[in-house]
Amino acid sequence: MCGRFATTLPNEAMAQLFDASPANDLPEVPNFNTCPTTQIHVIEPGEDRRKLRTMRWGFIPHWYDKPSGGPLLINARAETIAEKPAFREACRQRRCLIPCSGFYEWSKDEAGNRLPWYITRKDGAEMVFAGIWQDWGPEEARLRTCAMVTVAANALMSRIHHRMPVILEPQHWGKWLGEEGHGAATLMQPAAEDVITFHRVRTEVNSNRASGPQLIEEIPPDAC
């Protein structure tokens, strides 16, 4: 599961990291509280070079009569992605990379209070999720939309939540994008135990209107 994340890498650095041609309408960075239905950075394959572009986070199946015409699909479960009518074609033909600096997840204390955590890569590198995308709407008002692929959490992540995004290592980016033939399905696995780390952050981020670098700063686990 991933319902909120932070993006801090500048657009130029992101394009360089993925050897991608950047679009002119990329979202502003940094954004410490990226929420569903907003425009996010996405890397997709191109004929000669990868493309860094923007997509709506929230996959819209072609049969929706409007963007809110059904459940908000921000995540796609790896276990059923190849079977679900909403995702199966995209899983085969329209895969993408979704970069971020880290993502948020919530646990609950004994009183039922939601406690936010910020999850990053232990090595400090950019985190890259496996994603799928779908065009929706008439050509003159077409939306390119996407969802993150999720799997059962590894042992470390399961301390907070039972699901986690598929985190791709650099050597696997090309395979997920379809640049290296078949085998993308084998990448839909939990991250190794030594890949991620996490810390408690302010409950301020419980609001999707919150913003600012303080959202990702570590606080003691027993702080409010």
Positions marked catalytic: 2, 105
CA distance 13 to 46: 19
How many other CB atoms are there within 10 angstroms of residue 6's CB atom?
A: 23
Q: What are phi and psi of 15, to 5 degrees?
A: -60, -40
Partners of residue 21 on adjacent β-strands = 51
Radius of gyration of the chain (CA): 17
Tokens of 46: 């191109």
Greatest Cα-to-Cα distance within the chain, rounded to the nearest angstrom: 55
